[in-house]
Structure 1
Amino acid sequence: MPFTEIADRVWVAHYEFIDLNIGLVGGSRGLAVVDTYASGPLARDVIDDIRALGAGEVVAVVNTHEHFDHTFGNGTFRQEYGGTLPIHATEEAAARTVTSGEQWKQKSEADGYDDPRLPDIRATEVVPADHTFSSAAVLDLGDRAVELVHPGRGHTGGDLVVRVPDADVLLAGDLVEQSGPPAYGADSYPLDWPLTLDLVAQLMSPATVVVPGHGAVVDREFVFDQRADIGVVAETIRDLATRGVSVADALAAAEWPFPRERLADAVRRGYEQLPRSQKRLPLI
């Protein structure tokens, strides 16, 4: 059974492709699905696994952010559970879902990605969330209230976390990753990310079970450790820029907590986000 119950009526399924986690939260009204996977056929597999679990019908979808691997199943869930099935996300994520998805399709072709699932991914109609919020919202599942919180910018500008207070579970999306280093992309906010995780930490207790966007379930200490490393990235970028090291030379000019090849966008984005007063002319 792909879905494993990690707390009272909270399940997680880990899928091999992209090491993605799909969350499922149950209440007396039905189930809320957290993220919908990367294509119509992949979402159909998730729906089959939900049916096999026999825990109820899906009454809501939550997108933790706009990226294709978390949203491209939205349309398939709508087809299965009705055209009015609510899909929840932050305003920023919903506004960027279609653009982000189409850009990824184009990039996958331009970069020559080779995977048998790609034709289905590229053929997927991108369906954005239609129930949006700016900072926080509550999802009513009957006998259970589920909190949706936008703690700030990090992996993207519209990340949210899903908190299930009575079960002490936090589904963190890609603000936390276990199967690899944090994903700094062209739409990330490396200087904001540490403070965003500080707010996430305030939503956790010492016993909180944390579900990252990718990889194995973790605990609060893992989040603290990853936050520390993300903080090092942010402070290193600030230090280099303040000392006049050019963005082109920055990666080679310092030690980093993550592989250099994963940090090119982090450095570029960080330099872009720094105010002019915190950057000096490049050293000669």
Structure 2
Amino acid sequence: MPDDSARFTEVAPRVWVAHYDWMHVNITLVGGSDGLLMVDTHGSAAQARLVADDVRRLGAGPLTGLVNTHEHWDHHFGNATMVEQFGDMPIHATEWARDHLEESARHTFEQYERDTADPRRDEVLATTVRPPTHTFSSAVQLDLGDRAVELVHPGRGHTAGDLVVRVPDADVLLGGDLVEESDPPFIGDDSWPLEWPTTLDLVLGLMTDRTVVVPGHGRVVDRSFVQDQRVDLGVIAETVRDLASRGVPQSEALAQGEWPWDPALLESAVRRGYEHLPRAQKRLPLV
């Protein structure tokens, strides 16, 4: 199924973002004198070929490096295609993302094998996984020639291995799925909802009031949007803590809590939150 043709739009000097309709994914290019760094590569080989065409259409230079913001398939299933289309290049990610990427991909393939009605099934299953080649644990600086780009692991949130990309001279921050605009951030079975708010505090500390923020999905936003999202995630974390401290069973938490988002989106958040609470913050319900 073809995606609507997207064009890279310059959101800051030599930083271009293309937004694709499927999953509202954002692909970002950061330009330097040595070439282009691509952040995330889309969710299938077929879609990545469309992204590659858009890179060529932009004509801003050779593609010389890739970054995967985390191990979820919609952010790295285009890796192999980019290498096939543009030649071998480093693929950067956190150590956690590299170590868990193939396991995560296996779960995705199993899901698409079962879902025979999904119109994207064949193209996803036809994708070859190419893991990251260059990893770090805390922070690393990439040299693009006349520009430095920083990759920072600010803590656990959407996954245990999220990274953000900072382009200091352009005042741009790429948030991966720690920040989402098209929907509330996805809290899944591998998320860390109690730590996510403090992780975003560190991310906010990398911004100014003028920072251009590119979320993993959705429209480009600003610092105040991220601050508002941090507040919502903080409410979720504190609500879990409060309910557990009052002895509310996990099975009743969604019904009893006052949540900033639709409770249907928070089943994993509550389960993971209860799992991660220290014993001292839990109170057994009275019988």
Q: CA RMSD in A?
A: 1.1
Q: 1:278 to 1:53 in 2, by over 3 A?
A: same
C-alpha distance in structure 2 between counterparts of 1:53 and 1:168, whole Å: 22
Q: Greater CA deviation, 230-239 or 99-108?
A: 99-108
| TM-score in terms of structure 2 length | 0.96
- Is the CA contact 2:112–2:118 (under 8 Å) kept in the aligned structure 1? no
User: Shift of the alpha carbon at 1:107?
Assistant: 2.4
Q: Which residue identity is paired with 1:100?
A: S
Q: Percent identity?
A: 62
Q: Which residue identity is paired with 1:200?
A: V
What are the equivalent positions in structure 2 for 1:73-88 lying under 5 Å apart? 73-83=78-88, 85-88=89-92
User: Shift of the alpha carbon at 1:81?
Assistant: 2.1
Q: Which residue of 2 aligns with 1:5?
A: 10
Does 2:141 match 1:138?
A: yes
C-alpha distance in structure 1 between counterparts of 2:277 and 2:207, whole Å: 30
- Is the CA contact 2:112–2:124 (under 8 Å) kept in the aligned structure 1? no
Q: Which residue of 2 aligns with 1:251?
A: 254
Q: 1:107 to 1:282 in 2, by over 3 A?
A: farther
Q: Secondary structure at the match of 1:218?
A: coil
- Is the CA contact 1:245–1:283 (under 8 Å) kept in the aligned structure 2? no
Q: Which residue of 1 aligns with 2:107?
A: 103
C-alpha distance in structure 1 between counterparts of 2:204 and 2:153, whole Å: 13
Q: Which residue of 2 aligns with 1:21?
A: 26
Q: Which residue of 1 aligns with 2:284?
A: 281
User: Shift of the alpha carbon at 1:118?
Assistant: 1.9
Q: Secondary structure at the match of 2:102?
A: helix
Q: Deviations over 1:72-107 (max 9, x none)?
A: 001111112223x10000000111111001112212
Quick one: which of 82, 98, 101 aligns to 1:94? Answer: 98
- Is the CA contact 1:242–1:280 (under 8 Å) kept in the aligned structure 2? yes
- Is the CA contact 1:246–1:283 (under 8 Å) kept in the aligned structure 2? no
Quick one: which of 125, 130, 141 aligns to 1:122? Answer: 125
Q: Which runs of 5+ in 1 are unaligned?
A: none
Q: 1:16 to 1:113 in 2, by over 3 A?
A: farther
| TM-score in terms of structure 1 length | 0.97
Q: Which residue identity is paired with 2:65?
A: A
Does 2:51 match 1:46?
A: yes
C-alpha distance in structure 2 between counterparts of 1:31 and 1:131, whole Å: 17
Q: Secondary structure at the match of 2:233?
A: helix
User: Shift of the alpha carbon at 1:116?
Assistant: 2.0
